[in-house]
Structure 1
Amino acid sequence: MSQIPVSIAYGSARPLSLSIDPARLRLNFVPPPAVAGLTEKLDELLEQPLEFPALRQAIVPGDRVALVLDQRVPQGEQVLSSVVRLLTSHGVEAGDILVLQPADLRGQRARDPRGALAPEAARDVQWATHDPTIEDGAAYLASTAGGERIYLSKKLLDSDVMVILGATTFDPVLGYRGTGSALYPGLSTTEALRKSMGQGHDELGPDDSRPIRQMIDEIQWLAGLQFVVQVIPGAGGMAGGVFAGSADAVFREARAALGAAWKIAAGERAEMVIVSVDEPASRQTWFEIGAALDVARRLVSKDGRIILLSQIQAPLSEGMEILREAHKPRDALKPLRERQPADLIPATQIAQALDWANVYLLSRLPGDTVEDLCIVPLNDIAEVERLVEQAEDVTVVGAAHHVSVTAS
């Protein structure tokens, strides 16, 4: 019987190419391609958005515009450039535009997103990352129906027009990240960030009701959010789709497109699951590693083998240090809950995967660092190929950090 060719991209390395007997290959999930002509597509959407007038009709010369650019939006610089170009061509001064980014729990240093702007705009457009530790950096917005007092960035509340440029993705706590989750808790206070943390809801699917997501939707209404741009991921860290218009309509359409592109049914578990993180190496964090291993855990048999292809080189963060110090991965779960580190979610996901299966990692980390986490380090592709040859059956999921596994 002829072999099935399988190609798995990870980081900036050459994709891993395998040939697997079709009788042994349970699933080969291929990530959706990047959207073609992103700039042209977005220009059309800004002129003919979903359930909203053209964006140019919502602005007047002299408006102070806050563009809330969420962290890690696929091709975010390109999206920002299109929106700034439209604003400045319809009377908004570049100096009256603020690009405001929420606090990033991943601990990565913020990168100036203005690199794709025209030179004059890049010089004059303002850029700030919200710091929730600054005492007077947030002001009172309103109270929710449940009595929660909500504070948001003063810079945001001082603007005349607010537009969110974000990504709609699966999220273990929210179900779906997108639209108003760029506002809260990342543009609020340290107390809001603390209250919003959690280890995720293992028993819930992304479409199940979650109180924190409902509160975020209420906050975006209280803030008067109307126009948003949302991107769903595609292969290689690129945009797989883009949507613009009213917050509710865009979130509805983006969620549907995300599900069609990135949901997979669990099916029968495989003895070996190969997953990858295909973001550029510089953007790989423990959050992507945790998300990919969480997907693999839901697809692999108990005590089976998970192979994770990555190029991560990030140091161990607080939660990962807790995992490293634990006698067994399961023993890390309680101290993680108690100490609530910023990387609570990925550390929990990794601990749960290690408790369920044997994990092998191809990365740019030192081998002893990987071993300290109870993970088997892989030095090269040849080791991966040997492991695959030994497997009874195999499931392959490229770009697994974007995937949601649903019950079959």
Structure 2
Amino acid sequence: MKRVSLPVVSAQDYRGAVEGELWELRPAAVAGSFSARSQPVNDSPEAIAKLAESMLQTPADFPTVVEAIVPGDHVALAVDPNVPRISDVLSGALSLLGQANAGKVSVVLWNEADDALVSRLQETLDEVQSGQATLKPMKVEVVRHEPHRRESLRYIVADENAEAVYLAKDLVDADFTLPILSARARDAINNIDPTGIFPLFADAATQHRYQTGVTTEPSEAAWLLGVQVMMLVSADAAGELGRLIAGTPDALRHELTNLYASGETADQEAWDRDESETASPTVSETVPTAEMVVAALDGDQTSQTWANLARAAIAAGRHVTPGGTIVIWSQVDTPPSPVWMRELGQPPIGIESSDTETESDDA
């Protein structure tokens, strides 16, 4: 895409811009404010896909993603399965990767995704890929992260206790990694890496160490992978896609702070992990509490999962009095998976080299 030098007329639309100063801007970037450009024109699949493609063409503080990919590159999409309208969002991302002539695209889902979602996304993305004109056929593969399977992992670093940290192999092997996440309040994500890479795509033993407080710095894994740009998708009150933004983690934090400057939402502080440690004691007085708190899960059947039940319980726990009751209203209609059964009642296990064999050191 051709670049032109244009004067900035409305400086408030551009971070760090000074009115009258010349900036190198892409024509698409001056089409409107970040707030206006990040919302779909309607709720059609085509509009959602076009929005995802457009935001990846003009991410905040990052050149178009097409210029970050060499033809034939292996691109990995690290995807949160709770992203609203996930099929349409990924269709738009895949359309842009086709323009970049990526050689292989690995869509890696958090392990809470079910088989039905994996199959549905594979079918949808195969259709999108087949309709694209690329230099060479682009292979698209949808997989679910398996933290207990050694064959699906790659070593990346040792933590502060010299314990090995493994990540999903497709993310480690890829030439370019793009996280796509559902934007959540800090209540629901706690101390998770803002890119969603760690610990969601780590091995089971590392996840267990993280949960028990012995952990690697959350941002280090994403930094080692070379993650520079990401996408955040937020839901509206009806559980549909409300806003989609892309850019560097720092730029997205800044944009979210501007979008929600009124303080009516905590999205802009979703990764401000230091706030809970430095906040004054009076902050808790602004959080209403009750003896009974009812939390409801919105969204379609894809969002009705045990993992989201846990997130709802965490969020509600901030508002319930000691000894109080939390009621979660949802449409979860399946029993917990074996992974959740282990989380709920059995001791965690380490990396498995097969379905029946486990590593004794990690068990």
What's the offset of the Cα at 1:173?
A: 8.1
CA contact (8 A) 2:117 2:302 kept: no
For the pair 1:285 / 2:285, whether they are aligned, the reply is no
Q: 1:132 aligns with which of 144, 147, 158?
A: 147
Could you tell me which residue of structure 1 aligns to residue 245 of structure 2?
Answer: 243
What are the superposed Cα offsets for residues 164-207 of structure 1, whole Å, 9 maximum, x if unpaired? 222232466852546432x3333332211222335xxxxxxxxx
2:61 corresponds in structure 1 to 51
Paired with 1:230 and 1:211, the residues of 2 have a C-alpha distance of: 28
Q: State whether residues 171 and 177 of structure 1, in contact with CA within 8 Å, keep that contact through their aligned partners in structure 2.
A: no
From 192, 198, 203, the counterpart of 1:184: 198
Provide, for residues 359-406 of structure 1, a one-character-per-residue CA deviation record: whole Å limited to 9, x for no partner.
xxxxxxxxxxxxxxxxxxxxxxxxxxxxxxxxxxxxxxxxxxxxxxxx
Distance verdict in 2 for CA 1:248–1:339, change over 3 Å: same
Paired with 2:339 and 2:128, the residues of 1 have a C-alpha distance of 43
Q: Secondary structure at the match of 1:242?
A: strand
Residue aligned with 1:230, SS? strand
Report the counterpart of residue 232 of structure 1 in structure 2. Answer: 234
C-alpha deviation, 1:216, in angstroms: 1.9
Unaligned runs of 5+ in 2: 1-37, 42-47, 131-137, 268-283, 350-363
SS at match of 1:164: strand
Letter in 2 for 1:223: L
> Displacement of 1:243 after TM fit?
1.8
Q: CA deviation at 1:90?
A: 2.9
Secondary structure (helix, strand or coil) at the match of 1:237 reads: coil
TM-superposed CA distance for 1:85, in Å, is: 0.3
1:5-404 to structure 2, matched below 5 A, reads 35-37=39-41, 38-93=48-103, 96-104=104-112, 110-112=117-119, 113-117=121-125, 119=127, 121=129, 124-144=139-159, 147-170=162-185, 175=190, 177=192, 179-181=194-196, 183-197=197-211, 212=215, 215-251=217-253, 253-254=255-256, 260-261=264-265, 266-267=286-287, 269-270=289-290, 273-281=293-301, 283-299=303-319, 308-315=328-335, 339=347
**So what's the TM-score if we normalise by structure 2?**
0.62
Structure 1 contact 61–91 (Cα < 8 Å) conserved: yes
| C-alpha RMSD over aligned residues | 4.0
Distance of 1:321 and 1:120 partners within structure 2:
36
Looking at structure 2, the residues matched to 290 and 275 of structure 1 have their Cα atoms a distance apart, in angstroms, of 11
User: What is residue 347 of structure 1 aligned with on the other side?
Assistant: none
SS of aligned partner of 2:150: coil
Q: 1:291 & 1:299 partners in 2: Cα distance?
A: 14
**Higher relative contact order, chain-length normalized (CA < 8 Å, sep 6+):** 1
The separation in 1 between residues aligned to 2:237 and 2:172, in whole angstroms, is 36
Specify whether residues 107 and 39 from structure 1 end up closer, same or farther in structure 2 by C-alpha distance, changes over 3 A only.
Answer: closer
Match of 1:204 in 2: none
Check conservation: 1:168, 1:231, Cα contact below 8 A: yes
Q: Is the 8 A contact 2:236 2:242 kept in 1?
A: yes
- Residues 325-345 of structure 1 show CA distances to partners (whole Å, capped at 9, x for unaligned) of xxxxxxxxxx9698469xxxx
- Greater strand content: 1
Percent identity for Structure 1 against Structure 2? 25
Unaligned runs of 5+ residues in structure 1 are 1-33, 199-209, 323-334, 342-408
Task: Give the match for residue 20 of structure 1.
Answer: none
- C-alpha spacing 1:339/1:216, structure 2 compared with 1 (3 Å): same
Alignment partners' CA distance in 2, 1:121 and 1:230: 23
1:55: how far off? 0.8
Task: Tell me the distance in 2 between the aligned counterparts of 1:321 and 1:126.
Answer: 28
Question: 1:280 is aligned with what amino acid?
Answer: D
What is the letter of the counterpart of residue 277 of structure 1? L
Q: Is the 8 A contact 1:63 1:160 kept in 2?
A: yes
| TM-score normalised by length of structure 1 | 0.56
| Deviation (angstroms), 1:41 | 3.6
